Structure formats: C-alpha cells, structure tokens
Amino acid sequence: MKPTPSRWITWLLKTFGHPDTLEEVQGDLLELYAYWVETVGIRKANWRYCLSALKLLRPLAKSKRLVEYPSPFFLSPNMIRNYVKIALRNLVKNKVYSFINIGGLAAGMAVAMLIGLWIYDELSFDKFNSNHSRIAKVMLQQTVDGTTSTSEAIPIPLGKALKNDYGSDFSQVVLTHGTGEQILAHDTNKFTKRGSYVEPEFLQLLPLKLLEGTQTALNDPTSIVLSASTAKALFGDTDPMNQIVKVNNQLAVKVAGVYEDFPANSEFRDVHYLSPWAQFVADQGWVKRAQDEDNWTLNSFLLLVQIAPNTDFDKISAKIAHVKATHAKDEAKFNPNVFLHPMSRWHLYSDWENGVPVRGRIQFVWLFGIIGAFVLLLACINFMNLSTARSEKRAKEVGIRKAVGSVRSQLISQFFSESFLVVALAFVLSLLLVQLALPWFNEIADKQMVILWGNPLFWAFSLSFSLLTGLIAGSYPALYLSGFQPIKVLKGTFRVGRFAAVPRKVLVVVQFTVSVTIIIGTIIVFRQIQYAKNRPIGYDRAGLLSIRMNTPDLVKHYDIIRHDLLQTGAVSNLAESSMPTTGVYSGDYRLDWKGRAPNQPVDFDVVACTHDFGKTVGWQIKEGRDFSRAFSTDSVGLIMNESAIKYMGLKHPVGEQIKWAGETYTIIGVVKDLVTNSPFEPVKQTVFKLNYQWTNFITIRLNPQVSASEALTKIAPVFRKYNPGGPFDYKFASDEHEEKFRAEERISQLATLFAILTIFISCLGLFGLASFVAEQRTKEIGVRKVLGASVFNLWQLLSKDFVVLVVISFLIASPAAYYVMNNWLQQYQYHSDIAWWIFALAGAGALLVTLLTVSFQSIRAALVNPVKSLRSE
C-alpha cells in the first residue's frame, strides 16, 4: 500500500493554510513526501512533511505579496457608462419587450402620480391661510331617544355666550350665514352669485388677502366686499372701489374692498362676495328675532372661531360643552353638547353618525392611496415577470460574464442599471401622460390640479418613489439572474427548478386579486347610483324648472307674469313656493298633535306654496284632496307627506287638527313622499301650507308638446319685460336632481378608470408569464405536435394554468370585495343589495380577458413549425 502523511497534519494545513495557495502547496508537499519516502524512509519523511507543513501555516508562513487586479468600483463613471450602454442595447434589441415594459411602468407611475396629486389636493383643503390650525366651527350635538345628531347650525345667542363667558379662550368669534343666490348688478352687467353675510371680524379671522380696501371694510352696513373675479365681471378694468352695486335690484351698496378669490380647494370657494351682518339683520326680520338672548331654539347660523394662542381645541371643547344647557334650561332635556370642529378636519371628516365622525373624504383618500400603491405594484410585478420570462435567453450571457471574471455584485449592478434606465424612461413618459391627462382628470374629479413643477417636495417625492420603483421592479430579476451557475449554463444543463415559477404565479394572483376586487367594487358603486336614480321621487321632474324670485319686480308682477306665460303656450302650469322641488331648506319645531309623546322631538321640513303647486309639480294625492280655491278654509289647511303621517302615528290623518305656533290647522290631504333632498337618504317628514307671502321660487311646468329650447325662447322675453333688473336664470329640476349624484358618479368614474388600468397592467403581466411558459416548453410543444397534438390541445395545455390562477384570484377577491363594499353601502340608508351575479360577472370578465391575453402567446407557440423547435435538440 502506498504510504500517506498523517491525517492530522493534512487537516491543519487545510484549516490554517493560505486559501489562495493551498492547492498548489499541498500538491508540492505530496510530491516531496513521495521522494523522501524513497530516499530517507517513511519515519523521516513524516517528520520532514510535518515540519514543512507547520512552516506554511499562518502566521508562521512568510508573507508574500501577490499581484492582484482589483475590481473597478461599481459606481465608477466608466462602469456606469458601460452599464447604460449595455442596457440601451438590450432595450433596442427587444423592442416589443421594451415597449411593454416601459409603457406598463409609465402607466402605473402616471396613475400613482395622478392619485398623489389628488391626495395632496384633498389634504391641503382649507389650508390656504396661515391661521388655519387655530380656526374651527362651533358645532352642536343633541341626543333624543338615544340617537345623537350633529350639526354645524347653531343659535345666535351661543356666540354671545362664548364671547362673554369664555372670551379669553378665543381671539375671534364670528357669525356667518350664506346669502344664497343673489343678483349683483352694475349698469348693464348682471350676475347671479353666492356670498355670505359675515360679522366685520371675519376679515381678520381667516385672514383674506385684500387687493383693495382695509380690514374694517365691513363696518359700514351699506358696504360690500367682492372677490377679484366678481369685481372684474362687474367693472372690467375700472377701479371698483366706492362703486355702487345693486343687490337684487333693490339694495344699493358701496364696494369697500376686493379680495383674492378663495382657492378651489376651499370650503369658501363659492363665496364671491361678503355682506355686513348688520345688513342681514336689517333686511330679514326673522334674523332680528333670532338675536333675542332667549332664542336658543333657532339653530340656523354658522359660528366660526379662532382660538387664542397657547390653547387647544380639546381643552376648549371640554370647557364649552354644556354652555347651551346652562343658558337654555328648556333645551337641557336634549343633552346639548357644544364642541369645536377644527378647520383642518372640515373637509376630510364631514359625516357624523350618532355623535361620531365616521365618514367623509378621508375614506376616499385612503381608498385611492391604496389603489395607487397597488397599481404601481402591479406595474412593478410586470417588470419582474417580463424580465424573468427572458431569463433563459440571458442565461448564457450571465454564464459567459461569470466565466470571464464578473462577480455577482457586478451582475446585480448591471441588472439594476437596466431597471433604473427603464424606470427613468417610464418616469419621463409618465410626466407627459399626467400633463396630457390632467384636464380630463380634473373634470372628472372636480378639481383644478396642476403638476407642482416648482415644488421641491414634489420632485423629492417623485424621484424617491422612482428610485423605490426601480429597486422593487429590478430586485427580483437582478438577484435571480445573477445567481445562475456558469458551469451549468455553458454546459447546457441549466434548468429552472420545479418551484421557480411559484413567485411569478403568486404575483399574477396578486395582480388579478386587485383587478377583480376593483371590478366588483366598480359594479357595486354603479349599481348603487342607478338604484338611487330609479327611486320613485313622488313628482314628475320632466319639463319642470324653477326661477328664484330675488327681485321686487318678480314678486310684484307675479300675477301678470303668470298670465303672459300661460298665453305663450309654452307653459302648462306654474306656481309659487318657498323652496324648489329639489331641496327644502326650512324647518319648524313648533308643531303639536293629539297623541304626541311628551319627549318626542319635533322637526318638520316646511314648504309654503300657492294653490297650483301640487298640479304643477305633479305630486300624488294618497288621501284627502289637494289645495283648492273653492275652499276658503284652506288658508288653515295642511298637506303632509307619508313620512310625516307615519312619524306622527296618525291612523286617519285627514281631518286631524294640528297646533302650530299657537294656531290650529287641519290636515286636508296626504301626498306620497317627495324626494327633495338626498336621494340616498329617507324622506324627512314634511308639511305643505298655503302662504302667498312666504314664496321665493316660481316653479314652471313646460308644455310637453313644445320642445324645451322653443319653450325657453318664448318664456325669456316675459321675464325680461317684467324683471329688467335681473338676468333670466333658471334651473331644470332634472339637472338639479342629477347633480345630487355627482360625488358618487365621480367615484364611479374614477373606479372604472382604475379598473381598466389595473386590468390592462395585469394583462401585460399575463403576457409576460405566457411568453415565459411558451419559451420554456417550446421543445415539448414541438414533440407533442410531431406526435399528433392539435392546436386546440396545445392551447388548452398552455391556458389551463392561467385559468387556475384567475380562479384562485377570484376566490380571494370575492370575500374581500364583499366585506369592503358592504361596509360602504351601509353608509346609505337607502341602498341596493349585493347580488351574486356581480361576482359571477366580474369573475367571468377576468377569465375572458385572461384567455384572450394568453391565447395570443399560446396559439402563436402552437403554430410554430415543430422542425424549427426541435432543430437545436
């Protein structure tokens, strides 16, 4: 047997020898050992071997400087230039792949950017001035029968109580009230504008940016302060200061100031002028009565405050919580709670339920933020899938690079450079897409957003998320491709593992789970809107229009206007009322009836109207009769809706007597509920009474035999003749009713847009995965074709895996979508149900899109000549 050295010294040499020279040194020692055995014997040979080995162990071995060639720094300019050059070559070489990859990423980044701008606009709402963090609304909560209602409408004496009792906690306490639509006129210029009656301190509260005038401009009761756009419309280039403006053709006021228009993302954006509070009190007798110190029951006004420095909203809210209960003993039974609602929360937290802010725009901020993140993630998933789909094509490239000395870090840098180049190109393209899409997106979202070119935060955030996108999108391909073993690749023995496709399949499941969820949500939102639109509204809104009686001429000439309009043949009927049919703004709490529970709250909507109102709007009498000129007693008669009768608990309402503000009225009729306010909420109890003095609107029913355009052409001259001081402004009831669905329709349109984009991006991911599978199974497909497989058999073979992925996505998405959308529907008391066919439709749609996408690659692979597929075997 051939002698060998001792194992222990061999182990020492392997463990503590220099790793770079171990193989060479060990080979030389073994050759010397064989020579020593022949010349001096085994015993001496073992000794010499041990001594020689010990001398070579570190740190006993003499240091010997080796000539090394250091790898260049991976961020050196030359390396980066080389990376970019190779990346560009790969992109140009694979044009279709590059187009899909860059286009998909650009679409995802553009959507994320649009959503980001939308969220920024929402979060910056009402933050147009430096004092916004100390401004609040005074709000009131009252509890009746265990249910707490929350309102921003407060009584006037509450403002006085805050000033007197808690003056040190506030810098400003200001009463305001909307003016509604009023006519502002100067010479021949006449415009209908909305404004606010405000106390003079309002100009210090916000503060407004005054272009002309001073902050004491509203001290004069005969003054007015205009927005810049309104001043421009009325006076053109003429200086508006001290000019006379006529309000509703009856009150002449002097322009005392001009302020910069409120921004679009402000609750005050529709406030185009400010009138003094003293003018409001002088013009409206009911406001003068509301100022009585004992009138704590008329909750009709808005109270804004600015808290003092070094205080906070919670502490002041705790102090003032019981101020109404203290001053208004009769109201204590409703447990009134007064608190401050900060300006920063007005827009985002506007919906209250049983005393708790439960909804508002914040839910859409979260929703769209999540959707934006998912859309961007889907685009990154596509990049990963498309990159790994080409992995085998680049396997030999990786093998050769490693064989000639490339280390893994260099390969990772190379693949990341390609990722960042694609992201950079996609980012530039996404900016172009956003710029082109913003006008259309603003129209849908009802915004005035622009790209924040000059905002450093925008660029910091955009570049940061582009960098993050590059890292996320390039991480998997870089780590996956750089891990190929060169020996296996170059020998042709490289094969992907049986679980290599699992990550890609998981990513596709994620993509389609998101897509199916958004599809289901979009269908449910659209169905809810249609459900509310199809709700019976209790009157005929076709051909019905209203005109505000905002000048003395309209009030004075109503009878002759009525006569002339009927003579035109364009009008079949008309009447006066205190409110339009699409909104009731007045309520009363002074009603009492037989059988009313002692603690039952009284809160009725009230509409004053003339005899022909019911015939004009086309309401439906359920019991009793309509108002009639044949009955003089109808002046003390009431018509109530179904909700009022149900609320009052009256079994036989017609003929029942009602006490109202000390007078006795008789119910003469019951009408079916008229949906005048939100179509998503139950109809409130409403009472209709005859009153020719308390009318603000003319309601007109157009002749159905005459087209609307022709009818308006005949109507307009009549109004211009008898109302020369005001423009002919009218509103169709159908348009006003449709306007109530705008918020939900915007959400539906945005959700539809996002659903289409997620499906599109997900299909790109499927396209990438299908190309990967088809490429991997090229030779298998060739063999199957040689053995007689048809194109349909091969299509079925390549498509079934993707069908399974979509089915899995559907099973995950369905319960998630049901949970989210069911919670969303619950915010509406009048809502649709969630039908099973919605899920079936969404699943079938996703499956159809999947098959159409995959079939392109499957059929293409199935049609390839098998000779060409097997030639390289």
Tens of pLDDT, residue by residue over 108-167, are: 888 888 888 888 888 888 888 878 889 999 998 887 666 777 888 888 999 999 998 888
- The verdict on residue 356 lying in a domain is no
Nearest to 674 by CA among 812, 576, 771, 537: 537
Q: Which residues pair with 697 in a beta bridge?
A: 548, 577
Cβ neighbours of 520 (radius 10 Å): 26
Number of domains in the chain: 4
Q: Which residues pair with 574 in a beta bridge?
A: 700
Specify the DSSP class assigned to residue 332: G
- Three-state SS string over 476-535 comes to HHHHHHCCCCHHHHHHCCCCCCCCCCHHHHHHHHHHHHHHHHHHHHHHHHHHHHHHHHCC
Question: Whole domain around residue 25: which residue ranges?
Answer: 7-55
- Which carries the bigger pLDDT value, residue 276 or residue 485? 276
For helices 836-862 and 791-825, give the axis angle rounded to 10 degrees.
150
Looking at the structure, tell me whether residues 464 and 581 fall in a common domain: no
Looking at the structure, tell me whether residues 760 and 850 fall in a common domain: yes
Which of 124-128, 324-328, 339-343, 794-798 shows the lowest per-residue confidence on average (mean pLDDT)? 794-798
Q: Cβ distance 612 to 594 under 8 Å?
A: no
Work out the pLDDT band at 494, boundaries 50, 70, 90: low
Mean pLDDT of 357-385: 79
Specify the DSSP class assigned to residue 154: B
Most confidently modeled of 18-27, 249-258, 778-787?
249-258
Dihedral of CA atoms 313, 314, 317, 318 in degrees, nearest 10, equals -150
What is the reported pLDDT for 669? 94
Work out the pLDDT band at 71, boundaries 50, 70, 90: low
Give the N- to C-terminal CA distance of the chain in Å, as an integer. 48
Looking at the structure, tell me whether residues 498 and 403 fall in a common domain: yes
Residue 465 pLDDT greater than 80, yes or no: no
Give 3-state DSSP helix, strand, coil % of the chain, rounded to 5.
55, 15, 30
Looking at the structure, tell me whether residues 154 and 270 fall in a common domain: yes
- The verdict on residue 104 lying in a domain is no
- The verdict on residue 276 lying in a domain is yes
d(CA 433, CA 435): 5
What is the reported pLDDT for 58? 58
Looking at the structure, tell me whether residues 584 and 683 fall in a common domain: yes
* % of the chain with per-residue pLDDT over 70: 89
Residue with tokens 């055995």: 37
Looking at the structure, tell me whether residues 22 and 167 fall in a common domain: no
Q: What are phi and psi of 340, to 5 degrees?
A: -100, 135
What is the reported pLDDT for 530? 86
- The verdict on residue 835 lying in a domain is yes
Most confidently modeled of 557-566, 828-837, 848-857?
557-566
Task: Give the domain-ending residue among 681, 715, 739.
Answer: 739
* E strand spans, 242-355: 244-247, 251-259, 273-276, 302-307, 337-342, 351-353
Q: What are phi and psi of 493, to 5 degrees?
A: -100, 5
- The verdict on residue 86 lying in a domain is no
Specify the DSSP class assigned to residue 301: B
Residue 69 pLDDT greater than 50, yes or no: no
d(CA 642, CA 683): 9
Q: Cβ distance 609 to 554 under 8 Å?
A: no
What is the reported pLDDT for 63? 44
Q: What is the pLDDT of residues 22-67, one digit of tens each?
A: 666 777 777 777 878 778 877 788 888 788 877 777 555 444 444 4
Residue 594 pLDDT greater than 70, yes or no: yes
Q: Is 50 exposed, middle or buried (0-12, 13-18, 19+ CB in 10 A)?
A: middle
Q: Is 712 exposed, middle or buried (0-12, 13-18, 19+ CB in 10 A)?
A: middle
d(CA 845, CA 758): 13
Which of 112-126, 182-196, 408-422, 797-811 shows the lowest per-residue confidence on average (mean pLDDT)? 408-422
Mean pLDDT of 389-410: 69
Looking at the structure, tell me whether residues 279 and 405 fall in a common domain: no
- The verdict on residue 112 lying in a domain is no
What is the reported pLDDT for 532? 84
- Token code pair at residue 756: 């289409």
Looking at the structure, tell me whether residues 805 and 758 fall in a common domain: yes
Looking at the structure, tell me whether residues 554 and 621 fall in a common domain: yes
236: left (phi over 0), alpha (psi -120 to 50) or beta: left
What amino acid is encoded at 240 in this protein? P
Work out the pLDDT band at 68, boundaries 50, 70, 90: very low
What is the reported pLDDT for 485? 66
Cβ neighbours of 782 (radius 10 Å): 21
Mean pLDDT of 712-735: 89
Looking at the structure, tell me whether residues 789 and 842 fall in a common domain: yes
d(CA 190, CA 234): 7
Distance from chain centroid for Cα 489: 50
Looking at 169-216, list the stretches that DSSP marks H as alpha helix, in order from N- to C-terminal side. Answer: 202-205
Task: Give the domain-ending residue among 739, 767, 782.
Answer: 739
Looking at the structure, tell me whether residues 520 and 407 fall in a common domain: yes
| Mean pLDDT, the chain, whole residue set | 83
Angle at CA of residue 726, ends 724 and 730, nearest 5°: 120
Looking at 259-346, list the stretches that DSSP marks H as alpha helix, in order from N- to C-terminal side. Answer: 277-283, 285-290, 313-320, 323-327
Q: Which residues of 197-211 are buried (b: 16+ CB within 10 A; e: fewer)?
A: bbbbbbbebbebeee
Looking at the structure, tell me whether residues 548 and 628 fall in a common domain: yes
Q: What is the pLDDT of residues 747-759, one digit of tens each?
A: 778 778 878 888 8
Mean pLDDT of 835-844: 90
- The verdict on residue 88 lying in a domain is no
Task: Give the domain-ending residue among 723, 739, 755.
Answer: 739
Q: What are phi and psi of 247, to 5 degrees?
A: -100, 120
d(CA 56, CA 251): 110
- Token code pair at residue 112: 């994320």
> Judging by DSSP bridges, how do beta strands 251-259 and 223-227 pair with one another?
parallel
Residue 574 pLDDT greater than 90, yes or no: yes
- The verdict on residue 74 lying in a domain is no
Q: Cβ distance 273 to 184 under 8 Å?
A: yes
d(CA 830, CA 808): 34
> Judging by DSSP bridges, how do beta strands 657-660 and 663-671 pair with one another?
antiparallel
